């Protein structure tokens, strides 16, 4: 499978760094929220949020995620987004854009310890459609650290599963393909929802340390 086909099959997260005129913070807040509201109406939209580097900083960050490349491009090439971007040119300038695909999403750090839900206004409600978040978006760790973290989760999990499955009557007599099929069907959701999130939480200081 080529790189483009592989990327198209995974959710795409886009992180954008912008400089905002400090004198127009109120307008910028409404403008950021308007962008989220517009994106919500597009097929494949998985969530969005925006962050400020600090109260005195003019650096703002916006993050949004789509199901795959086609749905992301439909949003990015839409007349609605073009109109929205044009409406903010007087006070917002784009500095940097970063896309993350596939497995890197497992290693994204939490956005903040305090999150305000834009619909209810309650702190601590980290739903996908969030309002202000108080920390910038960290970069994903290097690939070799990702590989180490995955191995540290996969090895003991696979070892334990292999030991437990050996107690299933007749399991060792199954064809190799069926044994591997059953093991992967059982382990994939366990790794995705339990093991990898736990491993990345435990290793987060090391994963986020400078290369």
pLDDT surpassing 50 at residue 134: no
pLDDT surpassing 80 at residue 121: no
Instruction: Determine the pLDDT at residue 188.
Output: 87
State the pLDDT confidence band at 80, using cuts at 50, 70 and 90. very high
Percentage of the chain exceeding pLDDT 90:
17
Bigger pLDDT: 125 vs 64: 64
Q: Token pair for residue 44?
A: 């494949």
Mean pLDDT of the region 149-160: 91
Mean pLDDT taken over the chain: 77
User: If you write DSSP's letter for every residue of 38-101 in order, what string do you get?
Assistant: HHHTSTTEEEEEEEES-TT--EEEEEEEESSHHHHHHHHTSHHHHHHHHHTTTTEEEEEEEEEE
Q: Counting Cβ atoms within 10 Å, is residue 53 exposed (0-12), middle (13-18) or buried (19+)?
A: middle
pLDDT surpassing 70 at residue 99: yes
State the pLDDT confidence band at 198, using cuts at 50, 70 and 90. confident
Tens of pLDDT, residues 30-44: 998 899 899 999 999
Instruction: Determine the pLDDT at residue 172.
Output: 87
pLDDT surpassing 70 at residue 133: no
pLDDT surpassing 70 at residue 1: no
Closest CA to 14 of 108, 85, 90: 108
State the pLDDT confidence band at 118, using cuts at 50, 70 and 90. very low
Instruction: Determine the pLDDT at residue 156.
Output: 92
- Helix, strand, or coil (residue 15): strand
Phi, psi of 19 (to 5 degrees): -100, 130
What is the spatial distance between Cα 15 and Cα 137, in angstroms, rounded to a whole number? 8
Instruction: Determine the pLDDT at residue 79.
Output: 93
Task: Show Cβ contacts of residue 8 under 8 Å, excluding neighbours closer than 6 positions.
Answer: 68, 69, 70
Tens of pLDDT, residues 53-79: 777 788 888 888 898 889 999 999 999
What is the spatial distance between Cα 83 and Cα 45, in angstroms, rounded to a whole number? 19
Instruction: Determine the pLDDT at residue 117.
Output: 34
Instruction: Determine the pLDDT at residue 102.
Output: 53
């Amino acid at each position: 499978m080529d790189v483009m086909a592989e990327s198209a099959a995974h959710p795409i997260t886009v992180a954008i760094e912008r400089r905002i005129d400090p004198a127009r913070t109120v307008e910028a807040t409404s403008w950021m929220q308007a962008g989220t509201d517009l994106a919500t109406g597009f097929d494949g939209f998985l969530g969005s949020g925006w962050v400020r580097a600090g109260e005195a900083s003019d650096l703002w960050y916006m993050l949004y995620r789509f199901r795959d490349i086609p749905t992301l491009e439909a949003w990015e090439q839409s007349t609605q987004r073009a109109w929205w971007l044009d409406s903010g040119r007087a006070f917002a300038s784009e500095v940097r854009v970063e896309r993350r695909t596939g497995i890197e999403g497992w290693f994204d750090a939490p956005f903040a310890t305090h999150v305000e839900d834009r619909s209810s206004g309650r702190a601590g409600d980290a739903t996908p459609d969030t309002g202000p978040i108080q920390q910038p978006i960290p970069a994903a760790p290097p690939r070799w650290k990702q590989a180490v973290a995955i191995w540290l989760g996969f090895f003991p999990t696979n070892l334990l599963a292999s030991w437990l499955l050996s107690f299933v009557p007749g399991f060792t007599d199954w064809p190799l393909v069926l044994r591997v099929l059953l093991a992967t069907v059982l382990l994939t959701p366990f790794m995705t929802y339990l093991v990898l999130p736990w491993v990345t939480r435990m290793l987060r200081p090391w994963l986020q340390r400078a290369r």
